[in-house]
């Protein structure tokens, strides 16, 4: 279970000011049921006269969910606030993996010429890694969770007779032609291949693609409160409320430089690369 936060504007009317003298405005709370019948709570907190939020009252209303709080864009609690913003643990990397898979299928590279490296420290992609086998001649994984991937490696040997290379050091990715990782800043500085990432950064010798903003299924989009990031909402629903169907979300990947003059094969895996 998790909670989301909405912000109500400050009411400067005379009636509201008189009411606040005797009773501070309460933080509203309503229960919302997800399509899978799990629930989350939506809190509504009023801005105070100094433009801040009543974080103590928000924490009191949220209860045990005060560390699983989804905040609107631009709202950040102070360091000493008794609440913590929710940080997705798994779904962003799954979305990246799903999106990269569809992009590579569209790109149509020669599998015999490609080697792919997944950077997955927590082992969240171990159950889906085999989907990349038809797209690459060599599959590597950089991970801290060897136990999860050793099971996957055994499954691939038994089912396909192929070897899955495991390594704890991202330096092993340097020789791969395709690199999939959450943060491009972790890629080797000398890397010259194709990077799929959620967080791009300057890599002059590499081609970098990132997923577009994800579109939630209509039944979930209707429940996502205004101002809440859709991916964070989907992650909370998936990771904290067992909405497993959201694990298959994907979106188009977009090159960092999207111009016809500088178009590369990576650009062409995006349907609208010429726009």
Structural domain harbouring 235: 1-86+217-249
**Does 188 lie in the same domain as 263?**
yes
**Does 262 lie in the same domain as 240?**
no
**Sign of the CA dihedral running 222, 73, 198, 211:** positive
Q: Is residue 72 part of a domain?
A: yes
Mean residue pLDDT of the chain comes to: 90
Beta-strand pair 253-255/207-211: antiparallel
pLDDT tens for each residue of 51-74: 899 999 999 999 999 999 999 999
How many whole angstroms separate alpha carbon 240 and alpha carbon 49?
35
pLDDT tens for each residue of 204-235: 788 999 999 999 999 999 999 999 999 999 99
What is the spatial order of strands in the sheet that 115-119 belongs to? 165-167, 138-142, 115-119, 178-183, 194-199, 207-211, 253-255
Give the predicted TM-score (pTM) of the model.
0.87
**Does 172 lie in the same domain as 155?**
yes
pLDDT of residue 24: 78
How many whole angstroms separate alpha carbon 137 and alpha carbon 115?
6
pLDDT tens for each residue of 167-189: 998 988 888 999 999 999 999 88
Asked whether the predicted pLDDT for residue 274 surpasses 50, the reply is no
**Does 131 lie in the same domain as 7?**
no
| Residue 257 confidence class, pLDDT cut points 50, 70, 90 | low
Among 140, 119, 122, CA closest to 183? 119
| Domain count of the fold of the chain | 2
Beta-bridge mates of residue 178: 116, 194
**Does 259 lie in the same domain as 126?**
yes
Question: Rounded to whole angstroms, what are the CA distances from 242 to 6, 36, 40, 236?
Answer: 23, 8, 12, 9
How many whole angstroms separate alpha carbon 205 and alpha carbon 119?
19
**Does 48 lie in the same domain as 158?**
no
pLDDT of residue 1: 96
**Does 130 lie in the same domain as 143?**
yes
**Does 257 lie in the same domain as 138?**
yes
**Does 260 lie in the same domain as 168?**
yes
Beta-bridge mates of residue 49: none
**Dihedral angle at the C-alpha atoms of 53, 59, 65, 68, nearest 10 degrees?**
40
pLDDT of residue 118: 96
């Amino acid at each position: 279970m998790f909670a989301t936060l909405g912000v109500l504007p400050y009411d400067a009317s005379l009636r509201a000011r008189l009411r606040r003298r005797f009773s501070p405005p309460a933080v509203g709370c309503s229960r919302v049921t997800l399509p899978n019948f799990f629930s989350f709570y939506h809190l509504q907190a009023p801005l105070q006269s100094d433009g801040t939020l009543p974080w103590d009252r928000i924490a009191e209303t949220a209860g045990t969910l005060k560390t699983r709080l989804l905040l609107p864009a631009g709202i950040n609690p102070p360091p000493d606030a008794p609440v913590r913003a929710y940080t997705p643990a798994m779904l962003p990397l799954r979305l990246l993996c799903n999106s990269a898979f569809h992009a590579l299928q569209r790109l149509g590279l020669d599998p015999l010429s490609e080697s792919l490296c997944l950077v997955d420290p927590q082992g969240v992609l171990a159950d889906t890694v085999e989907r990349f086998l038809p797209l690459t001649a060599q599959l590597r994984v950089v991970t801290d969770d060897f136990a999860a991937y050793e099971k996957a490696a055994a499954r691939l040997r038994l089912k396909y007779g192929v070897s899955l290379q495991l390594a704890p050091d991202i330096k092993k990715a340097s020789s791969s032609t395709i690199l999939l990782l959450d943060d491009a800043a972790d890629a080797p500085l000398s890397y010259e291949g194709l990077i799929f990432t959620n967080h791009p950064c300057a890599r002059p010798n590499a081609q970098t693609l990132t997923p577009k903003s994800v579109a939630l299924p209509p039944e979930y989009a209707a429940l996502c409160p205004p101002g809440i990031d859709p991916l964070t909402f989907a992650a909370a629903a998936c990771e904290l409320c067992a909405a497993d169907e959201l694990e298959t979300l994907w979106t188009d990947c977009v090159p960092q430089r999207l111009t016809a003059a500088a178009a590369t094969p990576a650009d062409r895996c995006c349907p609208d690369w010429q726009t």
